[in-house]
């Protein structure tokens, strides 16, 4: 069984949050966790591309709410 990465849990929480009062907080937490994980990766990889895709999705979600 695969262990879920912190970034994945926080990302899912941000995407699924429907309360506008909490959504920005969840997106900020997810963004920080993703950035930390990217910092631990040494080179381009499939995981890095997933992280970059997640950041793009968070940015789209944030801009949609603006």
pLDDT tens-digit series, residues 30-64:
999 999 998 888 777 888 899 999 999 999 998 98
In a domain, 1, yes or no: no
The answer on pLDDT for 5 being more than 50 is: yes
In a domain, 25, yes or no: yes
In a domain, 40, yes or no: yes
Predicted model pTM: 0.80
What pLDDT, on a 0 to 100 scale, did the predictor assign at position 19?
94
What pLDDT, on a 0 to 100 scale, did the predictor assign at position 2?
56
In a domain, 37, yes or no: yes
What pLDDT, on a 0 to 100 scale, did the predictor assign at position 1?
46
What pLDDT, on a 0 to 100 scale, did the predictor assign at position 45?
82
Alpha carbon distances (Å) from 49 to 21, 23, 41, 63: 29, 24, 11, 21
Residue 33 domain boundaries:
6-65
In a domain, 30, yes or no: yes
How many folded domains does the chain comprise?
Answer: 1
């Amino acid at each position: 069984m695969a262990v879920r990465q912190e970034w994945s849990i926080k990302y899912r929480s941000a995407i699924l949050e429907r309360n506008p009062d909490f959504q920005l907080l969840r997106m900020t937490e997810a963004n920080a966790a993703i950035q930390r994980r990217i910092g631990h990766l040494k080179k381009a990889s499939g995981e890095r591309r997933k992280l970059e895709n997640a950041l793009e999705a968070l940015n789209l979600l944030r801009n949609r709410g603006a």
